[in-house]
C-alpha cells in the first residue's frame, strides 16, 4: 500500500478536531468497499499511521472494527490483508435487505405521499444525469434513493442498520459498475416509484424485489470477470 500525505488519501481526509479512530475506520472501509484497496492487498498499522502522522492506537482500533466486519484479516506477527468478497455474505444481506425494503415500499404504497414521490423522481433524474460519471457518484445516488424510501416510511434507522451490514454487497456493486447498463437500474427505480404513486402495494413490492434480485443473476458474471476478488471460484 503506497503511502499518502498526512492529510489523507484523495478526498478522504482526517479532521483533527474530531476523534481519529472512527474517521480512519470510515476511510479504510470506504477504500475497501470501492476496491481502492483490493482483495488480498496487504496493509499495515505502521504504514497507515505514518501516512496520517498519527499514533498506531487509532489505526489498531480501526483495524479491529474492520476485522469484525470481515473486511480485513489480521494475522498476528505476520500481516494484515484485505479479505476477498464472501459470496455467502453477499447473498445473506441481499435476502435481509429484500425482506426489509419490500415492507418499506408496501407501507409507502398504502398511503402515497406526493412530496415523497416528487423527491424520489428528483433523485431518479439526478441518477440519469450522472450515470456516465464515476461509480462513487452513481452508487451514492442509488443509496440516497433507497434511504429516501426508508425515511419516507419512517424507517430511517432501519436503513442505517442495513448500511452497516451490506459492505460485501457494496464491494460487488463497485466491481460491476462498468459491466451492466445503468439505465436498467434507473428504470427499476422508476417502476418502484410509479407503483408507490399508484398506491399499488403488490406492484411496489414486486418492483423492489426484482430490483434487489439483480445481484443473483449478475453475480456469476461478476465472479468470472474478477475471479481473484472472491472467496469461491466462479461458476462454470
Instruction: Kindly report, residue by residue over 22-33, the tens digit of the pLDDT.
Output: 899 999 999 999
Residue 1 lies in a domain: no
Residue 109 has pLDDT above 70, yes or no: yes
CA–centroid distance for 123 within its chain: 18
CATH number at residue 134: 1.20.120.530
HEC-encoded secondary structure of the chain? CCCCCCCEECCEECCCCCCHHHHHHHHHHHHHHCCCCCCCCEECHHHHHHHHCCCHHHHHHHHHHHHHCCCEEEECCCEEEECCECHHHHHHHHHHHHHHHHHHHHHHHHCCCHHHHHHHHHHHHHHHHHCCCCHHHHHHHHHHHHHHHHHHCCCHHHHHHHHHHCHHHHHHHHHCCCCCCHHHHHHHHHHHHHHHHHCCHHHHHHHHHHHHCHHHHHHHHHHHHCHHHECCCCCC
* Together in a domain, 12 and 41: yes
Do 215 and 104 share a structural domain? yes
Q: Is 56 part of a structural domain of the chain?
A: yes
Per-residue pLDDT, averaged over 117-141, amounts to 88
Q: Count Cβ atoms within 10 A of the Cβ of residue 14 and give its class: 0-12 exposed, 13-18 middle, 19 or more buried.
A: middle
Q: Is residue 8 scored above 60 in pLDDT? A: no
Q: Which residue has better confidence, 136 or 91?
A: 91
Asked if residue 111 and residue 35 are part of one domain, the reply reads no
Residue 210 lies inside a defined structural domain of this protein: yes
Please check whether residues 21 and 119 belong to one and the same domain.
no
Please give the mean pLDDT across all residues of the chain.
89
pLDDT value at position 51? 87
pLDDT for 163 beyond 90: no
Mean pLDDT throughout 179-186?
A: 84
The predicted structure's pLDDT at residue 2: 38
Residue 136, pLDDT > 60, answer yes
Please tell me the total count of domains within the chain.
2
Mean pLDDT value across residues 52-68? 92
pLDDT of residue 17: 74
Are both 157 and 174 inside the same structural domain?
yes
Let me know whether 31 and 145 are in one domain: no
**Are 29 and 50 contained in the same domain?**
yes
Q: What is the pTM of this model?
A: 0.85
Residue 165 lies in a domain: yes
User: Domain of 71?
Assistant: 8-82
Amino acid at each position: 500500500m503506497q503511502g499518502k500525505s498526512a492529510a489523507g488519501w484523495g478526498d478522504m481526509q482526517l479532521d483533527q478536531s474530531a476523534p481519529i479512530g472512527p474517521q480512519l475506520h470510515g476511510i479504510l472501509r470506504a477504500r475497501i468497499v470501492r476496491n481502492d484497496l483490493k482483495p488480498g492487498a496487504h496493509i499495515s498499522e505502521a504504514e497507515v499511521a505514518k501516512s496520517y502522522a498519527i499514533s498506531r492506537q487509532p489505526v489498531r482500533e480501526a483495524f479491529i472494527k474492520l476485522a469484525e466486519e470481515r473486511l480485513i484479516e489480521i494475522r498476528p506477527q505476520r500481516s494484515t490483508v484485505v479479505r476477498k468478497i464472501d459470496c455467502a455474505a453477499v447473498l445473506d444481506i441481499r435476502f435481509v435487505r429484500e425482506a426489509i425494503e419490500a415492507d418499506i415500499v408496501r407501507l409507502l404504497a398504502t398511503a402515497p405521499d406526493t412530496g415523497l414521490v416528487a423527491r424520489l423522481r428528483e433523485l431518479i433524474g439526478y441518477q440519469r444525469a450522472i450515470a456516465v460519471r464515476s461509480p462513487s457518484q452513481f452508487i451514492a445516488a442509488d443509496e440516497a434513493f433507497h434511504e429516501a424510501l426508508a425515511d419516507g416510511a419512517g424507517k430511517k434507522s432501519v436503513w442505517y442498520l442495513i448500511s452497516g451490514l451490506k459492505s460485501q454487497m457494496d464491494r460487488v456493486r463497485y466491481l460491476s459498475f462498468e459491466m451492466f447498463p445503468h439505465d436498467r437500474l434507473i428504470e427499476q427505480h422508476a417502476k418502484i416509484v410509479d407503483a408507490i404513486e399508484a398506491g399499488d402495494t403488490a406492484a411496489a413490492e414486486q418492483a423492489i424485489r426484482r430490483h434487489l434480485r439483480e445481484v443473483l443473476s449478475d453475480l456469476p458474471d461478476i465472479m468470472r470477470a474478477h475471479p481473484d476478488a472472491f472467496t469461491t471460484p466462479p461458476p462454470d
